[in-house]
Amino acid sequence: MVNMIEMKNVQKQYGQMNALEDVTLTIKKGEIFGFLGPSGSGKTTTIKILTAQLHHDSGEVQVFNQPAKNMSKNGNKCKVGILTDNSGLYSRLSIEENLAMYCKLYSVPKTAIQEALEFVQLYDERKKKVSQLSKGMKQRVLLARAILHKPDLLFLDEPTSALDPVSTAHIHKGLRLLNQMGTTIFLTTHDMSEAETLCDRVAFLHKGKIQALGSPKELKERYSDQTITVELKDGSQHKIKDQIASAGKVHEWMLANKIVRIFSNEPNLGNIFMKVTGSDLQ
């Protein structure tokens, strides 16, 4: 499968601070890749390097099998969509008028506006001025703008930060559909449940270093303690480490109709992050 992004031993410093240290990863075409970590861990710096807004100090960075610095060229700009926390909209203009300007920029027909707004479920609101929109609606407009030209590669920097659950659900649904249509998505977030919902693979970033990388399923298996818990009708819970040795006892509870549920104790991504970094996500 084709690599859309390749980073090898990438370093970036701000003064004496290491923003990125020896970052190595590849992202395949068609993946939704999650870059996970708390604020200040280096996630936004990585996006800026990959989109030629910032130069790395050392290492190799390629996007579309080209040096990342080439992403500033017009031919490559049309292949990429970006949604960041500083993606401004013109507040005095309507949603439709904002997107019309980007149709000109990307040389796409204005018919793309309807398709993009229907994608984020805002077509009926297209005449509203941006100044009248909620934060969640603005985020959905920004997503519509980022996908207006149907990019091959979409960068999303904390796309659902501080949004309500309904707005988040709208955005997640749209991202899944977009990915099914062929867009590769690079998603930065500190929301571990969002990553579990959307991502094929994730990398944990902490203080500029990748601490773990793999699919959510692989990481859960890797860091699982291989135990199960049996909950009985009397409210007690029994953690079982050796399932073979405890099979007789579990069978006894089953025959006595004492079991409410049995569940595995696999960690979630938040648990794993804390384990590999020793830090909270905040």
Whether residue 230 sits in one domain with residue 215: no
Q: Does residue 239 lie in a domain region?
A: yes
What share of the chain in percent tops pLDDT 70? 97
Q: Does residue 127 lie in a domain region?
A: no
CA 106, chain centre distance (Å)? 25
Whether residue 67 sits in one domain with residue 163: yes
DSSP category for residue 129: B
Taking each helix axis from N to C end, the angle separating 111-119 and 95-106, rounded to the nearest 10 degrees, works out to: 120
C-alpha R_g of the chain: 22
Number of domains the chain contains: 2
Whether residue 207 sits in one domain with residue 255: no
What per-residue string of b and e applies to 81-109 under the rule 16 or more CB within 10 Å gives b? bbbbeebebeeeebbbebbbebbeebebe
Looking at 9-94, list the stretches that DSSP marks H as alpha helix, in order from N- to C-terminal side: 43-50, 74-77
Cα separation, 248 vs 250, in Å, equals 6
- Banded pLDDT at 41 (limits 50, 70, 90): confident
Whether residue 160 sits in one domain with residue 257: no
Whether residue 253 sits in one domain with residue 208: no
Q: Does residue 31 lie in a domain region?
A: yes
Cα separation, 247 vs 210, in Å, equals 40
- Banded pLDDT at 135 (limits 50, 70, 90): confident
Whether residue 237 sits in one domain with residue 213: no
Question: pTM for this structure?
Answer: 0.85
Which residue range forms the structural domain that includes residue 251?
A: 225-265
